[in-house]
Structure formats: structure tokens, C-alpha cells
Amino acid sequence: MMKISDYIVSFLRNKGVGIVFGYSGGAITHLMDSLSRSSGLRFIQTYHEQTAAIAAEGYTCFSGTLGVALATSGPGATNMITGIADAYFDSIPALYITGQVNTYEYKGEKPIRQQGFQETDIVSVVRPITKYAVMVSDPLRIRFELEKAWSMATTGRGGPVLLDIPMDIQRTEIDEKTLFGFESSQPSKSELTYLDGFSREALVSLVANCKRPILLLGNGVKLSDTSIAVREFARRYGLPVVTSLLGKGAFPENERLFVGMIGSYGNRCANIAIANADLAIAIGSRLDTRQTGTNLPSFVRSGRVVRIDIDESEINNSRLINVDAVLGDIKPFIEELSSMPWGNMHEDWLCYIDRLKREYDQDAEVARNIENKRPYQVMDILNRYASDNQIFTIDIGQNQMFSAQKIRIGSEQSWKTSGGLAPMGFALPCAIGAAFATNKERPIFAITGDGGLHMSSQSLLLIAQYDLPIKIILLNNRSLGMITQFQDLYFDCHKAGTTKESGYLVPDFRLLAESCGLAYAQFGDEDYSSDERVGRILQVNGPVLIEFNIGEYTVVSPKLEVNKPLEDLNPRLDSDELQRIMLIDRV
């Protein structure tokens, strides 16, 4: 006989999980007790359930197994929602376990709000943001539900799952031999399906006739672990590469073929390149508005977009009209593409890309359009001092876009940020998950703004407590910069809740760091263009919070305004200059 909470622990251990993140509470005490008595599985108390939920995502991305986070019923469970939603929108498998009141206390179908203390129907709450969520109210189903949840999280397009386990179920003694398992009814698909009249022959013809091909790499490339295959394919045929915000890192960004990140805050050279392409192969990217802009005809202006995606619903939701789609896994698609007649290296096109990069890469952009260069100079320093296997985790706001536009991810480095939900306070918990997943062996830069750091301040203690190899890079502009830039553009510079004058303050981060026993360094309001002192601190072992005062007025450039063509980013190029750099007519 075995207690169910012990059974759950042994299930997780057998799946290779080494760490469980979470926060205690009455309804989860049995599982916590089992965890703390187990060997080979460590519980990390995260000081906030949101930290646990996001750390689980970071753990998944760097561990090869699933991140697991647990919380008690009611407030513990609701505090995890932000992380769960984030995992859902960015397709990250993770297992969330919540405690629940005893089954005999649960209100069930009664038309009341609550019966047990801290009872909350978390399963109904998270249903739209999970791939699978269920309350385990029959002890005999525990094995089935664990296996089913694990399978749902990891097959097809990944995502979070939640098991809600009442206290009396956690403490039930069961005979393992009486438990039944889960058999996945979905056979894993390896064949490709060409959709809506598109065919392999049609793709061959596009490939054979294109003159300006480009690859657009999305999150799916990284999630499916196909970066290496995609890189080899791109190099073999000399195909230029752009990425989405989440696809960054799928291709080494210091190679000639890499053009940049596209989208609303894309590198100007990359947006112009994809506007001029005549064949864009979009791999594992859902082509959302932040990538294509809202002026859809400007996305691959006179050519076709061929997309491969694992999620048919995403394909059916396409807003672009020049798209052909293939449903299936990336690996066989790359194999198929590799066998097609790509012809010669497209040397004219590559020379054009070289020119775009020379004239419109982020260095050129900053030199030309940015007055306060400090945030971008910090990025230069990080590029200079990053280790070959550096992990970058990035928060939300201007700091995210400074990083995305300027950080150059090398072939063994990793980039992780949030795309769909984009919750402030993401970078530190994600870095914590990554640090535990990599056994503290890879150095991490966690880049954040003042607002995001304040929101995730519980993480500071955790980082110090476990001596995690995380350098927190704080870009402090004493404002919610991303929103002030929006207010400047659309509200006549009127600020509301985003600056000191409009009611937004920042704490003294030195005191905050010191109160957590975390090393701290500050760089004042100055030019960081060649700062070796920063480099020295970045190279010291162990965690540190490095605060950069970057001035209160910071601007991300370029930025695409609503309804503007993709290549016509703000600040806008003079129309003659823009037409001169375009290969095709803009009308």
C-alpha cells in the first residue's frame, strides 16, 4: 500500500523531474510532506506562487523534462494563473498541481459560492488556458490522470496541464497494482499534410522559381528541437533568416545569413527584407499581428508565404491571403524542403541583404534615430561579455525590445522571453527555473525594467538563497517606459500612472537587494559605450543585481505604427529613400 501523495512523487521522479517549485498551504501539505521525505526530488519554496508557475516554464525549456509547480487551494491556485496562461499562449508544456478541500467538503453542484475554506473551482477557472485540467476525485484514477496530463502537455503543440487534488485523495492509501494507466489514442503524426489545394508539386515550383527566398523562424523551431536541422538547411542553400520575437536564438545571429527580428519592434533591415521576399517559409510561427503588422499586404508584398505548423486551428486562423500551409512536424518538412531544387545561392539577393544590414541594422538605427543611447549601450556590453553558453531571460516592456533588437544570440546561447501573454515579472522567475534546470552550470542574464523587477521582487531572495548564476540587469528608467512611449504617441504625451509625476514610483533597489543578501552594483546616468567596470562585474561568479540608470526618457526605435506597411517603421524614412531601398514597388 502507498499513500497517493507518495505515488505522485514517485511518478514525477520516474519522469526525470528533479525540482518541484511551489508554495505551502493547508490543502497541499500531504504532497509537500511526501516531497520533503523523498530522495532525488527537491522542493523549492518560491515565496510566491506566480514565481513557481513561471519557474516551471523556465525549467521545461532547459531540462528535457517538464517543469512542475504546486500550490495550495484558493489563493495559492489563483496566484499561479499568470504562469499557466503564459505557458498556454507560448506553447510550453508544464504540470501544475493544486491542493483542494476534501471531496466531502467540496460544494459540487450546489448553487452556493463556496463550502470549504479556500475552496475555489480552479479547474473551471483555468480550463481556457490549459490543454487539460481535472480534479482527481477518485483515488483509483490517480495513475490515469497523471499519465494523461503528462501526455497532453507534451504531445502535439505543447502546453500546460493542471491536476487539482483534494486533501483526502492525497492521503488515501492505495494498492499500486489496482491502478489503471492511460493510453494515448492519438497516433503521433509524422507525415505532412498539404492543405487547401496546396501540394508538394506546387511547393517545388515555388522553390524552383523563387529569386528572393527567406526563412522566418518562430518559437516552434525551438520547441521542437529542430534548430540544428533548420540551421543546416539554411546554410546549405544560402537562405537568409529572420525570426519572430520568440524564435530568436533558433539561428546564430552572428552569421551572414541572419538578417534580424521582424515585427512591430522588428529590426528595420529585417522588416524590409521580408517585405521584399518573393518566398517566405514560415517555420513554427503563428504569424500574429506583432509579426506581420496590421497592414497585411505589406507582408511579403509580391510573393507567397508557405507556413508549416503543428496546430491546424492556427493555420485556419490565418489573416494573410498569400499563404499556403502544410500541417505537420518541422523535422520531416525540413527533410522534404532539403530535397527540393533550390538552385544556386541567390547571390544578388544575399548582396542586397548585406546592404540592408549595413544601412538599416540596429547599430545604424541607434546611431541615426536614438538620442538617449544608454539602454542600447547596455546591450552592447552584454553582447561583449556574454559567455558562449549564456542564457538570456527577458522581461516585458521597452527593456524587452532593446534586448530583442540588439542582443545577438550565438549558436550555443539561448533566448527566452514571453510573447503571447507578456506578463511583467517574467524574467527573474524564468531565470530561476533555467538555473535549476541546468544545474547552475550556465550563466544567465535576466534583463528587466524597474516595473517588472518590482513585480517579481520575491525572486531576489530566492536567487541569493540558492546562489544561482543569475546576473539581474535592471534597466531603470523610473517609469513604465513602454507605456509612456505609447502615451507620447497617442495621448499627446499625457502620462497616467507611468511616471513619478503621474503616481508611479520605484523602490530603492539597492536596499531591496541588500535586504535579500544579494550583491548589488549601480551605474549612474552616464555613457556606457566602453565600460570595462561593468564587464568586470558581469564576469564575477555568483548572483548580482546590476542597476543601470538609463535616464527617464527612453525610446525604442524602430517601432511600427498601426496600419503602416511593414517596411515603413517609425521614425519613417524619407519616401525617396524608402523607395530606393525597396526592390519592388510599394504601391
Ligand X SMILES: Cc1ncc(C[n+]2csc(CCOP(=O)(O)OP(=O)(O)O)c2C)c(N)n1
- Give contact residues for Mg ion (rule: CB under 5 A): 449-450, 477, 481
Query: DSSP readout, 191-234?
Result: S-EE-TT--HHHHHHHHHH-SSEEEEE-HHHHHTT-HHHHHHHH
CA 235 → CA 214, 256, 570, distances in Å? 12, 10, 32
CB atoms within 10 A of CB 453: 30
Q: Find out whether 476 and 523 touch, Cβ atoms under 8 Å.
A: no
Binding string, residues 403-422; x marks residues near ligand X by CB under 6 A: -------------------x
Q: Which is nearer to ligand X, 497 or 571 (CB)?
A: 497
At closest approach, how far in Å is the CB of 415 from ligand X? 17
**Residue of the chain from 50, 377, 398, 457 that contacts ligand X (CB under 6 A):** 398
Q: Is 382 in the site for ligand X (CB under 6 A)?
A: no
Instruction: Using DSSP bridges, classify how beta strands 42-45 and 19-22 pair: parallel, antiparallel or unpaired.
Output: parallel
Q: Which is nearer to Mg ion, 204 or 506 (CB)?
A: 506
At closest approach, how far in Å is the CB of 374 from ligand X? 12
Instruction: Using DSSP bridges, classify how beta strands 2-3 and 173-174 pair: parallel, antiparallel or unpaired.
Output: antiparallel
Q: Which is nearer to ligand X, 76 or 452 (CB)?
A: 452
The DSSP bridge partners found for residue 215 are 241, 281
Instruction: Using DSSP bridges, classify how beta strands 544-549 and 470-476 pair: parallel, antiparallel or unpaired.
Output: parallel
Lookup: cell for 202: 506546387
Place of cell 511579403: 300
Q: Is 477 in the site for ligand X (CB under 6 A)?
A: yes
**Residue of the chain from 85, 94, 123, 424 that contacts ligand X (CB under 6 A):** 424
Please name which of 358, 280, 262 lies closest in space to residue 569, comparing C-alpha atoms.
Answer: 262
Q: Which residue is nearest to ligand X (CB)?
A: 449
Q: Which is nearer to ligand X, 206 or 483 (CB)?
A: 483
Q: Which is nearer to ligand X, 120 or 403 (CB)?
A: 403
Q: Is 397 in the site for ligand X (CB under 6 A)?
A: yes
Backbone phi, psi, residue 519, to 5° = -60, 150
CB atoms within 10 A of CB 338: 13
Please name which of 230, 260, 226 lies closest in space to residue 243, comparing C-alpha atoms.
Answer: 260
Q: Is 391 in the site for ligand X (CB under 6 A)?
A: no
Lookup: cell for 127: 480550463
Residues 481-520 that bind ligand X (CB under 6 A): 481-483
At closest approach, how far in Å is the CB of 320 from ligand X? 26
**Residue 396 binds what, of Mg ion, ligand X, none (CB under 5 to 8 Å, by partner type)?**
ligand X
**Residue of the chain from 480, 513, 560, 569 that contacts ligand X (CB under 6 A):** 480
At closest approach, how far in Å is the CB of 8 from ligand X? 31
Instruction: Using DSSP bridges, classify how beta strands 279-283 and 304-309 pair: parallel, antiparallel or unpaired.
Output: parallel
Backbone phi, psi, residue 522, to 5° = -130, 140
**Residue 334 binds what, of Mg ion, ligand X, none (CB under 5 to 8 Å, by partner type)?**
none
Q: Which residue is nearest to Mg ion (CB)?
A: 449
Q: Is 452 in the site for ligand X (CB under 6 A)?
A: yes
CB atoms within 10 A of CB 78: 17
Q: Which is nearer to ligand X, 139 or 423 (CB)?
A: 423
- Number of Cα atoms under 13 Å in the Cβ half of residue 126: 34
At closest approach, how far in Å is the CB of 133 from ligand X? 22
Catalog residues that contact ligand X under the rule CB under 6 A.
396-399, 422-424, 449-452, 475, 477, 479-483
